[in-house]
Amino acid sequence: MLRYLREYRWADMREIRANNRAEQRRSEARMDGKLCVITGSTSGVGWEAAKALASHGATVVMVNRNKGKSERTCEALRTQFGAECSYHLADFADSAQVRAVADALVRSHDRVDVLVNNVGMHSTTLARTPAGPEVVFCVNHLASFILTWKLLDTMRRSAPARIIQVNSQGHRFGGLRLDDLGWQKRHYTGLRGYGASKTAQLLTVWEFADLLQDSGVTINAMHPGAVRSNIGSNNGPLYRWFKDTILSRTLKDPAIAGQAIHYLATAPELADTTGQYFNLTHPEKPAPHALDRAMGRLVWAESLRLAGLA
């Protein structure tokens, strides 16, 4: 563990510490008539975001993988907030399913005001997709890349519109090597696999922001706080014991993540803010390796190729 913590790129530790302690910013803006697409809204951060947006009047369209959970969470939004809610299903480890669900979204909605790419996972064991890359990279980065790419025209037509990539301080673990996305050449660890996926996502946020310049569509990334959720529940008993008995004591109520996403989606003072990384609601400097624009262009090209979008 210590070995991996040493690899963590703290960048500006004072800024991170100050942001962790700072009071969060809030927005009271209503979202009536706004259509928000949220991925992974069956638990944790995504569920809190869905509640925060629905409680302010938004129509919620979920993209999840589990039909039963989607039915229940949509029904809860309808009952609790009188919100309109619908859902689409896709396994984000499978790029073909993500492309298909993105096409379905484009066909069924002529506007998308807010896109929250939230689906994410952390795996302590290495698994590869049939195409070669490691699964966490595909779920955390490639899927959000495909959805964002395919919804660009709809969002441009809906401008002003906002895209929020739920990223993580875990990007600071690094681990991204474009010549080894399948981890055939080095030892895989969960932290570095997670770091690689979140670094790739951040590097493409800056590229998307450039592409969307002057379009009225903004794109920002955020760390949703260290909050209680189901993340990691796919891992083994030792990991789950560590999370449930040790880590959980330090984790915060996930409602703060939902409120932060509502703030980033609506705050008037952020209308023109794009290409920014936030620690919850506070702007923060990402790790240096996540600011390497030359690398970002390579990740962009490789993501298009892997996603079958080139």
Of the two residues 139 and 158, which places its CB atom closer to ligand NAP in the complex? 139
Angle at 36 between CA 198 and CA 65, to 5 degrees: 60
- Strands, DSSP E only, in 99-195? 114-117, 161-166
User: Which among 126-134, 173-181, 226-234, 235-243 is the span making contact with ligand NAP, rule CB under 6 A?
Assistant: 226-234
Asked if residue 118 binds ligand NAP (CB under 6 A), the reply is yes
Of the two residues 136 and 270, which places its CB atom closer to ligand NAP in the complex? 136
Separation between Cα atoms, residue 14 and residue 202, nearest integer Å? 21
Residue count, binding to ligand NAP (CB under 6 A) = 28
Q: Map residues 48-77 to x or -, x wherever contact with ligand NAP holds by CB under 6 A.
A: ----------------xxx--x--------
User: Which among 2-10, 11-19, 21-29, 221-229 is the span making contact with ligand NAP, rule CB under 6 A?
Assistant: 221-229
Task: Give the single-character DSSP code of 112.
Answer: -
Residues 240 to 279 in contact with ligand NAP, rule: CB under 6 A: none
Least separation, in Å, of the C-beta of 120 and ligand NAP?
A: 2
Asked if residue 93 binds ligand NAP (CB under 6 A), the reply is yes
Q: Which of the following is catalytic: 4, 8, 188, 194?
A: 194
Enumerate the β-bridge partners of residue 218: 162
| Catalytic (active site) residue 194 | yes
Separation between Cα atoms, residue 24 and residue 119, nearest integer Å? 23
Q: Which residue do the tokens 């790790």 mark?
A: 287
Contact 136, 188 (CB under 8 A): no
Judging by DSSP bridges, how do beta strands 114-117 and 35-39 pair with one another? Answer: parallel
Instruction: Spell out the residues 6+ positions from residue 34 whose beta carbon is closer than 8 angstroms to its own.
Output: 57, 58, 59, 113, 114
Least separation, in Å, of the C-beta of 112 and ligand NAP?
A: 18
User: Which residues bind to ligand NAP, rule: CB under 6 A?
Assistant: 40-46, 64-66, 69, 91-93, 118-121, 139, 166, 168, 223-224, 226-227, 229-231
By annotation, the residues acting in catalysis are 194
